[in-house]
Amino acid sequence: MNPLKALAIFVANYQSPSVAIKEKIYSSLASFIAILILIEVVHFASFSGSFSLLVLASMGASAFLLFVIPHSPMSQPWPVIGGHFLSSAIGVACAHWLHNPAIATAVAVATSIFAMHSLQCLHPPSAATAMIAVLGGPEIHAMGWQFCYEVVVVNAGTMVLLSIVINNLIPGRRYPLRHSHHPHHADFTKSDHKPYPALKEEDYQWALGQIDGVIDVSTEDLVDLYEFAAEHAKNRTIES
């Protein structure tokens, strides 16, 4: 098959999440405000105190998670602060003990991912922070462990504080996430609730559009989850 034709088919078959235009605007403006304030805060602290602060590039990726998918488990305060701090510490250790930059970087990223899994603070941009600790150059290396608590904690902590303020000013958003059902759930738990017809993929697609914000799941994933749950419920009924 012609490579261009194959690429065209691939692009045509890709289905992005259905997101209202207002959500796209909210996410973009929130990210703009947060990064602008972060840079101003870091510059002010650098000039007025004894800190040697930097704005980490990985905060741009954190801004994406915090303001595009703020309800994701990876966007919550502990994953953001814990993930960045843990990864920075691992990165500093690797830069200090492993003298081959390629090996040190690879070990820092892999170990950070394992550590974040273990401590339940998965935050993808944190892997970039681990890389910065190794590849950031003489200025970063000279800071040593100060990089973790002077630079990383200030950056990540500021982003979380801004996320708490900004996201809760946006209609339909709740940050930090409090695990609770949509108010609509109460109707389904009533004893006189009647069963609904079998669901189709277009029903899931419509439902995704009723929830404010971006839900990091596809229609196909929802259908598969429903089918697995239905199969499990059927087997449980047979076994009982």
User: Tokens 């602290």 — which residue?
Assistant: 45
Q: Is 233 exposed, middle or buried (0-12, 13-18, 19+ CB in 10 A)?
A: exposed
Q: Hey, which of 46-55, 76-85, 191-200 has the most confident mean pLDDT? A: 76-85
Rounded Cα distance, 113 and 124, in Å: 8
Instruction: Give the CA distances from residue 239 to residues 227, 232, 236, in Å, rounded to whole numbers and listed in that order.
Output: 18, 11, 5
Model pTM score: 0.79
What is the residue extent of each domain of the chain? 21-167, 198-239
pLDDT at residue 212, rounded to an integer: 60
For 201-226, write each residue's pLDDT tens digit: 777 777 777 666 666 667 777 778 77
Evaluate whether 121 touches 76 at the Cβ level (below 8 Å): no
For 61-76, write each residue's pLDDT tens digit: 999 999 999 989 999 9
Share of the chain above pLDDT 70, in %: 79
